[in-house]
Amino acid sequence: MDIGTIIRNRRLELNLTLEEIGNAVGVSKSTVQKWENGFISNMKRDKISALAKILNINPVTLITGEYPTTLPEGAVPYNPVMHRIPILGDIAAGLPIFSEENYEGYTYTELNHGGKYFALKVKGDSMTAANIPDGSLVTVRVQPTVENGEIAAVRINHDSFTIKRFKREKNIVMLMPQSYNPEHQTQIYDLKQDSVEIVGKVVECKVGFWCLFKFIKIKQGSDDIGNNKILR
């Protein structure tokens, strides 16, 4: 198949605009339009990689125009039931800001269930024992409350933002790490003095190839999130 046609068809399948593709790859929308019209001979390797990432296709396809029979390790075939969600780079006033200027990119999830979702990049090893490693992406379902023992995305004192196991007893909130690193200790807050706002519940963790399509189970309270698939 013509490479320009592949680019255009995948962009339309994902409901992306020329401008969104350009922003993700770091080029103008007119350049993307030229690619779709077949003018791709001067496309640099880093642009091919970035374009393949946003289109969720193998980079080889953008070079040869052919779909490989095998996928790279950690990748999965395009699934039309996947839903695109933003990776948020900033959260203000305790609530996620769903606007383009606050997005660091996009990822995909099979989760829907009528909820609103976003993703956050994990920094640090405070939740590694819950299968949330450093460098992974967590999917967060926006909701104002969680059950004791569940893992939540939490805003502390309208400033810092963290992912921890949540527990509340009257006016005392405990944000508990789950790590093999003993340096991480439970954070305790008194709601009479501190503001602790639940932004949402962590429902999925992604690691591996572009942090897009290798799901691992999160140890969420007493029950694992059993709907998450482990894809090899």
Positions annotated as catalytic residues are 126, 164
Tokens of 172: 């005392």
The residues near 170 (Cβ < 8 Å, ≥ 6 apart) are none
In this structure, which amino acid lies at residue 41?
S
Task: Identify the helix (H) or strand (E) that includes residue 52.
Answer: helix 45-55
Buried-state track 55-84, b at ≥16 Cβ within 10 A, e below 16: bbbbbebbeeeeeeeeeeebbbeeeeebee
| Beta bridge mates, 169 | 172
Q: Are 47 and 26 in contact (CB under 8 A)?
A: yes
Cβ-contact 215, 59 below 8 angstroms:
no
Alpha carbon distance 5, 145 (integer Å): 46
Report the distance separating Cα 50 and Cα 156, nearest Å.
35
**Residue for token digits 């200790």?**
185
For β-strands 196-206 and 117-121, DSSP reports them as unpaired
Closest CA to 16 of 89, 116, 100, 97: 100
Torsion of CA 18, 105, 46, 210, to 10 degrees: -130
